[in-house]
Chains A and B, each alone.
Chain A
C-alpha cells in the first residue's frame, strides 16, 4: 500500500515559512473565543463594513442594477433607483458585453481602465495611459503579480519599510526572494531616514543580494504617516541612483487626517521632477476600493499603474494576468465608480458627498480619539495617525512582563495582546507582525470601531493596560 500524498513536511518550504500576522495567532485565538461566546471587537484588519460602516448608497445601487439587468426593463425600477444610478448601470453594462458574468479582458474592462486614467490625470495633472493600467482582484493580487514577476531567486532583494504591512514580507517569502528592511524612525513621526536606507542596501549588497525594488506605503500601514513632497523626491532620486523599481502602495490615499501633508502621488512628484529621472525611474502604483471612505473590501477591486516599464516587460506581465483570465467584474465596476463618482449637479451627488464626508470626518475624529486615548495610558506612547486606518502605539513593557512572556514561550507583544484579548475582547495584531526595532514593542489596532463605541473601548483598554503595568511593575524602580 502506498503512502498518502501529502504531509506537512512535504509542503513547499516557502509556504511553511510564510507569516501573515494580520490573520495569525491573535486572530485565530479571537475566533476561538468568539465561538465560545465571548464578545470580540475585531480590530485586526482594516475591514470597515464589518464594524458597522455603511456602504455608500450610489455605488451599491449601480452594481445591484448591473447584477440584475432585467430590472432595467421593469417599469417600476424608477420608483426604487434614482435616474443617475440607472443611467450609470447602463453605462457599465454597455462597456461590458456579456454583462457581469463574462470574463473581461485580462487587464480589465477598457472603459473602466479609461476612467481610472482620467481620474489619475485629474488628480495629478499628467496624462495617464489606460493600456498601462491593470485592474486586479484587490491591490493585494496586483502586488503578488508584480513581486512574482520581479523576484528571480533568493539573491533578489526587495526594500521594505519596517514596520510594514506583512503582505510584502509574505509575498517575498512565497516567491523565494530576500526582504531588505529599512527602518522608519518612530521618534521622527515614523519618517523615512535615507541614511539608514542606504546602509541597509549596502549591507544587503555586501551579502551578495541584488536589490531590485523599493516598497513605500503612503499613507503608511501600520504607521499612518503621510510622506511629504520632499520625502518623495528623496525616494525617487534614491531609486534613480540605485536603479530600483519603486512600488508605491497608495491604497490609503483618501484617508488623510491632517492638513499639513495632503496626499501626493509618487507619479506626480516623478513627473514634476522632469528630466531624465522622470523618463527612467520605473514605478508601479497600487490602489483599491477596499479603503478610503468606500471600504468595499469584500468586492476585491484594485488596480496597478505602470510607469516607464518597457513594452516587452508589459507583455510578460500581461501573460501573468492572463492565466487568471480576468479580474472579477463587479469589483471592476466598483473601481470605475470610485474613479468616476457622482458630480455636482447629479441627482445622487448630494447624498454621495454627504455620506463620504461623514465617514471621513468621523475617521478623522476617531484617529484623534484613539491617539489621545493611548497616550493617556501608562507606559504607552502613540504617534498621531496622520493617515490610513490604524493606530500603532508603542507599549513600554516592564522587564518582568517580558520575562514572563518569554518563559511562556511568547514574544512580549504577543503575550500582551493575548492578555488584552482575554480581558477585554479587543483583538489587535502584535507589532512583531509588522516588524519593529529589537526590544521595542507595539500593537496595531484599526480606528474603525464605531465612534459611539470608541470611548468605551479606549476606557476598557486603559483599564486593562494600567492594571497590567501595575501587575508587572519593576519594583526595583520604586
Chain B
C-alpha cells in the first residue's frame, strides 16, 4: 500500500527552480543540430551542405585550435611521473617541461596526480597564480585569497550560493548576459536585477542606468548584494574603458556591493586602443584596498589562447571578505573535496607561463601569437561579413570570442515566427541551421530583452569566431547566400 503516490520524481515534482531556468548555448539549437547531424549521416545528400559549422559554443579545440605544446607536455608528465625518472623522457619532452613537471609533482600530496588535494587547491599552484596576477596588475596578490576550481563556472556558482539567502537578495547582471548567471541565480533562489548595456553605445555600460536599476530594486524591497560585470563581454564583445571601470568601482563601493568580475576573456583582445585591466587593479589604482571594497575576480583556462575548455580549470581571487567568510567558502568547497588536478596544474601554467630564457619560450610564443593573430583576423573577417548583410548591424568586436549582430527582421518574418509560436530570432537561427548548416545561439538566450526596459523588436544571434580560417571562408558565402534568400522570401513588399 503506497502512502503518497506523488512523491517520486517526475517533471512535476522536481525542484521547480530547475524547471525555471534555461541555458541556451546547450539548448534548442544544439539539440536541433544533433538531429541534423544524424540526418546528414543517414542521407548525405539531403541538405545543400556537407557538414554543420558550429558557431554556438565557445569550444576552441573542438574546432581545430591546437593546444599549447608546453602545457600538454607538463600535463602528460604529471600524469605519468615515472617517466620523469627515465632518460627517454628527454627524447619526447622539452627540458623546461620536464623541469616544470618535476617542480609540480614535488608539491603534490603523494607526489602524484591521483590524490585529493586541499579543497582550495594545491598551495604552490596557488602561489604561481598569485604571482601571475601580481605580475599582470602590478599589485600584490595572496595565495590564500585564491581558490582553484573546476572551471570559472564552478567558482561563480559557489559565490552565488554564498551570497543568496532568499528571493529578496538581488544580483545586478548585465543584459545581454551569459546565461550561467540567470541560471545560477534562479537555482539558488535569488533574484536577478538586469541592467541594460547600450547597443548604440558599443554595448557600453552606463552607470546611471545601473543606478536606476539598483534604486528600483531597492524600492521593491530587494537587498542588492553584488554586481556582475563581464569584461571583456559575453556575448557582446566590448572591452570596458578605464573610466567605465572606475565609475563601477566607485558605484559599488558607495552602494556596498560586491563586484563579481568575470574576466575569463582577458587574453582575448583584438583592438589596439583597448587593453585589459582587472577590476582589482583599477580599484587599487584608485587607492582602494580590500577594506574599502570587496571584489571576486574569475578566470579560466577555457578561453584566451589556451582554449582548454575540457580540462575544467579556473580560479577565483577573493579580496575583501573576512576570514570567517573565507572559512565558510572553504567548507562548502570541501564537500566535493577538491577541484580536478589537471585543471589546477593548467591554471598555474597559464598564470606562470614560459619566460624569455626558457628553452621552450620561443616555441610557446610562436604558438600563442599564431592563435591570437588568427583570432584577430577571424574576428575582423566575420564582423565585416555580418555588416555586409542587408539589415544587419554588428558592433565592433573588441574582445572575447563572439559576435552579436543585430538582425532587422522584416515584418513578414516576424509574423511567420509568431505563427510557429517561436521568437523571431529563434526562427532565423533555425532557418540558418536548416538551410545553411550554420549553428548559432539566438539572442533571446542571452535575455537581451529585459521585461521592464523592453528594447522592443531587436533580434540578435551570437556567433563565435572560432571555426578555423578555412571553415570561416567556407561559411561566409553560405551565410550571405542564406541571408539574401531569407530577406527575399520575407521582404516587405509595400
Interface residues on A, range: 35 or more
Contact A98 B310, CB 8 Å, known A2-B256, A149-B18, A313-B9? yes
Q: B290 — nearest CB in chain A belongs to which residue?
A: A4
Q: Which residues on the B side are within 8 Å of A316 (C-beta)? A: 11, 14, 18-19
Complex: how many Å from CA A72 to CA B153? 32
Q: Which residues on the A side are within 8 Å of B2 (C-beta)? A: 241-243
Q: Which residues on the B side are within 8 Å of A319 (C-beta)? A: 18, 21-23
Contact A68 B76, CB 8 Å, known A8-B322, A80-B86, A106-B26? yes
B153 & A313 in contact (Cβ 8 Å cutoff): no
Is A130 positioned at the interface, with any CB of B under 8 Å from its CB? no
Is A322 positioned at the interface, with any CB of B under 8 Å from its CB? yes
Partner of B291, one of A4, A140, A175: A4
CB distance from B255 to the nearest CB of A (A): 5
Map CB proximity to A onto B285-320 as digits: 1 under 8 Å, 0 otherwise: 000000111100000001000111111100000001
Complex: how many Å from CA A246 to CA B324? 37
Is B162 positioned at the interface, with any CB of A under 8 Å from its CB? yes
CB distance from B431 to the nearest CB of A (A): 24
B10 & A60 in contact (Cβ 8 Å cutoff): no
Contact A6 B310, CB 8 Å, known A11-B328, A51-B110? no
Residues 77-119 of B at the A interface (beta carbon under 8 Å): 77, 79-80, 82-83, 86, 88, 91-92, 109-110, 112-119
Complex: how many Å from CA A6 to CA B331? 17
**17 A-B Cβ contacts within 8 A?**
A4-B291, A5-B226, A6-B322, A6-B325, A7-B322, A49-B110, A60-B80, A61-B80, A64-B76, A98-B61, A100-B310, A101-B61, A102-B62, A300-B339, A325-B26, A326-B310, A328-B150
Partner of B3, one of A11, A98, A137, A242: A242
Q: Which residues on the A side are within 8 Å of B79 (C-beta)? A: 60, 63-64, 67, 330
B76 & A330 in contact (Cβ 8 Å cutoff): no
Q: Which residues on the B side are within 8 Å of A12 (C-beta)? A: 161-165, 188
Map CB proximity to B onto A240-257 as digits: 1 under 8 Å, 0 otherwise: 011111000000000000
Q: Which residues on the A side are within 8 Å of B252 (C-beta)? A: 5
B258 & A5 in contact (Cβ 8 Å cutoff): yes
Q: Which 8 pairs across A and B sit closest by C-beta, in order of nearness?
A: A49-B114, A98-B62, A5-B258, A64-B80, A329-B310, A312-B11, A50-B115, A102-B62
B8 & A243 in contact (Cβ 8 Å cutoff): yes
Partner of B340, one of A61, A243, A300: A300
Is A23 positioned at the interface, with any CB of B under 8 Å from its CB? yes
Q: A99 — nearest CB in chain B belongs to which residue?
A: B61
B114 & A295 in contact (Cβ 8 Å cutoff): yes
Given pairs A8-B322, A298-B338, 16 additional interface contacts (CB within 8 A): A2-B257, A6-B225, A64-B76, A67-B76, A102-B61, A141-B336, A148-B187, A152-B13, A152-B14, A152-B16, A242-B2, A295-B114, A316-B14, A323-B180, A324-B157, A330-B342
A313 & B26 in contact (Cβ 8 Å cutoff): no
Contact A298 B113, CB 8 Å, known A6-B321, A63-B79? yes
Complex: how many Å from CA A20 to CA B335? 6
Complex: how many Å from CA A241 to CA B86? 61
Contact A323 B153, CB 8 Å, known A243-B4, A309-B9? yes
B contact set with A: CB distance below 8 Å = 1-11, 13-16, 18-19, 21-23, 25-27, 57, 59-64, 67, 69, 72-73, 75-77, 79-80, 82-83, 86, 88, 91-92, 109-110, 112-119, 150-151, 153-154, 157, 161-165, 180, 183-184, 187-188, 225-226, 252-258, 291-294, 302, 306-312, 320-322, 324-325, 328, 331-332, 334-343
Q: Which residues on the B side are within 8 Å of A236 (C-beta)? A: none
A3, A4, A18, most chain B CB atoms within 10 A: A4
CB distance from A351 to the nearest CB of B (A): 12
B293 & A5 in contact (Cβ 8 Å cutoff): yes
Complex: how many Å from CA A106 to CA B57? 12
Is A167 positioned at the interface, with any CB of B under 8 Å from its CB? yes
Is A359 positioned at the interface, with any CB of B under 8 Å from its CB? no
A11, A22, A74, A149, most chain B CB atoms within 10 A: A11
Is A195 positioned at the interface, with any CB of B under 8 Å from its CB? no
Q: Which residues on the B side are within 8 Å of A45 (C-beta)? A: 116, 337
Complex: how many Å from CA A290 to CA B67? 27
Q: Which residues on the B side are within 8 Å of A61 (C-beta)? A: 80
Is A96 positioned at the interface, with any CB of B under 8 Å from its CB? yes
Residues 186-226 of A at the B interface (beta carbon under 8 Å): 205, 210-213
B165 & A241 in contact (Cβ 8 Å cutoff): no
Partner of B114, one of A5, A48, A171, A205: A48
Q: Which residues on the A side are within 8 Å of B165 (C-beta)? A: 10-13
Contact A140 B335, CB 8 Å, known A300-B150, A319-B21, A326-B310? yes
Complex: how many Å from CA A379 to CA B110? 34
CB distance from A257 to the nearest CB of B (A): 22
